[in-house]
């Protein structure tokens, strides 16, 4: 991999206490797709929200590609709209009054202030959504909505993609389809991805490295085939 395409390093060290739950997690990764795995309530989504700037930690330091997003010791907290982070939820959260093409171009507006520039046509081709551009989003299937949500995040100048259980509401056939598309996005655009899931089969197919969370703490980190046994 060239220097220009080198995967962004993620450094995460944060403490957050909210409503009886405490997250105290530390990890570092330069893998192209890092998975956060663990039971419900283990802190996976909270980690994503901290990286995205939706939540402010009580203490800690978070950086992506050497760019500091949070450093409580130095008083640094980059606002969420300036982080160049693409966040895709289980619910794609598309604008229902817009067409697919309008949703995608809405994402492009955020890239104008800097960040990674990816051609519109390349995103449409990779995600195989050219035939959907004129449709309104309420008419899309679950898998189609997730494709469009991925496209919008890619076009927003994102330096990293955060995927929060994007396959949870899909049937098995659509899950297999979107897993393949996520792999293409990872490989063709060289954008690092943090992927949250509680489905071990998904993680094994996509992730080179897994951070295993339980009770708000990192209890293991390593290659997916070592962290997630086949019978898990």
Percentage above 90 pLDDT, the chain: 51
The answer, yes or no, to whether residue 2 has pLDDT greater than 80, is no
The answer, yes or no, to whether residue 81 has pLDDT greater than 90, is no
Residues 6+ apart with CB under 8 A from 168: 90, 197
Tokens coding 26: 């530390």
Q: Are the CB atoms for 157 and 84 separated by under 8 Å?
A: yes
Percentage above 70 pLDDT, the chain: 91
Average pLDDT over residues 91-100: 87
CATH code at position 115: 3.40.50.300
The pLDDT of residue 230: 67
- DSSP assigned state of 8: P
Residue 2 included in any domain: no
Residue 217 included in any domain: yes
The answer, yes or no, to whether residue 78 has pLDDT greater than 50, is yes
Residue 1 included in any domain: no
Q: Which residue has the tokens 């992506």?
A: 64
How high is the mean pLDDT of the chain?
Answer: 88
Residue 98 included in any domain: yes
pTM for this prediction: 0.87
The pLDDT of residue 3: 44
pLDDT tens digits for range 170-226: 888 888 888 888 988 888 888 889 999 888 888 988 998 999 999 999 999 999 888
Q: How far apart are CA 32 and CA 110, in angstroms?
A: 23
pLDDT tens digits for range 108-148: 776 555 566 788 999 999 999 999 999 999 999 988 999 99
Domain hosting residue 131, numbered range = 10-227
Residue 3 included in any domain: no
Q: How big is the CA angle at 133 (ends 113 and 106), to the nearest 5 degrees? A: 20
Total domain count for the chain?
1
> Which range, 43-57, 77-91, 116-130, 216-230, has the best average confidence (pLDDT)?
43-57
The pLDDT of residue 177: 86
The pLDDT of residue 111: 57
In this predicted structure, which of 6-20, 126-140, 142-156 has the lowest mean pLDDT?
Answer: 6-20
């Amino acid at each position: 991999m060239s220097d220009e395409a080198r995967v962004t390093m993620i450094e995460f060290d944060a403490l957050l206490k909210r409503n009886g739950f405490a997250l105290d997690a530390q990890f570092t990764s330069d893998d192209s797709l890092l998975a956060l795995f663990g039971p419900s309530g283990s802190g996976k989504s909270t980690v994503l929200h901290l990286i995205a700037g939706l939540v402010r930690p009580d203490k800690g330091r978070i950086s992506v590609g050497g760019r500091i997003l949070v450093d409580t010791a130095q008083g640094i907290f980059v606002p969420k709209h300036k982080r160049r982070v693409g966040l895709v939820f289980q619910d794609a959260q598309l604008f229902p009054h817009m067409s697919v093409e309008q949703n995608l171009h809405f994402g492009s507006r955020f890239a104008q202030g800097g960040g990674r520039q990816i051609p519109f046509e390349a995103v449409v081709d990779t995600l195989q959504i050219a035939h959907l551009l004129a449709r309104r989003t309420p008419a899309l299937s679950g898998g189609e909505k997730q494709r469009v949500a991925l496209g919008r995040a890619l076009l927003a100048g994102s330096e990293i993609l955060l995927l929060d259980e994007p396959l949870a509401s899909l049937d098995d056939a659509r899950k297999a389809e979107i897993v393949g598309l996520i792999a293409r996005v990872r490989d063709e655009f060289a954008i690092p991805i943090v992927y949250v899931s509680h489905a071990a089969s998904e993680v094994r197919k996509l992730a080179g490295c897994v951070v295993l969370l339980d009770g708000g703490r990192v209890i293991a980190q390593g290659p997916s085939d070592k962290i997630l046994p086949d019978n898990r």
